[in-house]
Amino acid sequence: MRLLLIGIMALVFMLAGCGGGGTGSCAANTDCQSWQFCNTTSATCDALAGYCEEDSQCNDNLTRCDVENTHLCIYQEGRCRSNANCQNWQVCDSEQYCRASPGFCDSDSQCDPVFEYCNPASHECGPAPGYCVSDTDCDSWKKCDAVSKRCYLLDGRCDLDGDCDTWQVCELKTHFCKAKEGYCINDENCNAWARCDTVSRKCIARQGYCIADNECNSWELCSSQTHRCMPAKDRCGSNADCGAWQVCDSGHYCKAKLGYCNDNADCVQGEVCNQVNHICQ
């Protein structure tokens, strides 16, 4: 039993060692990784022909061993022997470096320092963010100024609240300035009984309408439903606002006509005001 355990432990150590490349021991190629073979002389996993385990096995100062992925010798970053070793926007120069082809760039220094940068996606010089050559270089809510090469906001458009008037906020979804709560741009932002005051930018009552009681006469109130001034209870503007037994007096109170009463106080002592026919009895 003891010998069996020692054998199992030896096998585990052997398999673990063979995965490391050039270290440990092996009995067959299957004990090694796909880019290795089992060297039966040393009983170690070694690199197959054309593969590598370290840079020195490439024997080339332009290449290195891609130990992270393929274990093949690949060109070092930016080095080359022909254009084919470079990216499609590059050429291989006489010093065996990949350089930007004519019309392309690999740094901002190759572009106009005033308003251009090297676009990292296309590797071409173009307007830096915020700059432009034509309107198409700007966001849809901006235009390009041909002199400054800057994108500027169209009238009524915005990127933030500070681009709008003090009574507005910037709606970031549409980039339009819109009225703050309680303010208006035009009459469409107001109820049917109101209009937009172009000075205060607030909705105010139209002619013949009201918002608050102080916009009415002292004997009136502002109806919250119709937004019209109407007489307060027991007050009147004309006889039509009173009962058939009443008249509207100069103080805008409904006063009982001669021979009628509103309450007992309008009757002589001993009589009461009949609230049905408004006659003292």
Ramachandran sector of residue 234 (left: φ over 0; alpha: ψ -120 to 50; beta: rest): left
* Complete DSSP assignment for 95-141: TSBEEEPTT--SSGGGS-TTTEEE-TTT-SEEEPTTB-SSGGGS-TT
Domain boundaries, the chain: 16-76, 107-154, 187-231, 234-281
Chain centre distance of CA 102: 38
Exposure of 60 in the CB half-sphere (CA atoms within 13 A): 15
Q: What is the pLDDT of residue 105?
A: 96
Q: What is the pLDDT of residue 234?
A: 84
Q: What is the pLDDT of residue 233?
A: 87
* Complete DSSP assignment for 221-251: EE-TTT--EEEPTTB-SSGGGS-TTEEE-TT
Mean pLDDT, the chain cut into blocks of 10 residues (281 residues total): 41 41 76 93 92 92 93 94 94 95 94 92 91 92 94 95 95 95 93 94 94 94 95 91 93 93 92 94 92
Q: Which residues of 257-274 are buried (b: 16+ CB within 10 A; e: fewer)?
A: eeebbbeeeebeeeeebe
Q: What is the pLDDT of residue 23?
A: 52
Q: Which amino acid is at 104?
A: F
In whole angstroms, give the CA distance from residue 189 to residue 166.
17
Predicted model pTM:
0.45
Q: What is the pLDDT of residue 24?
A: 60
Q: What is the pLDDT of residue 210?
A: 96
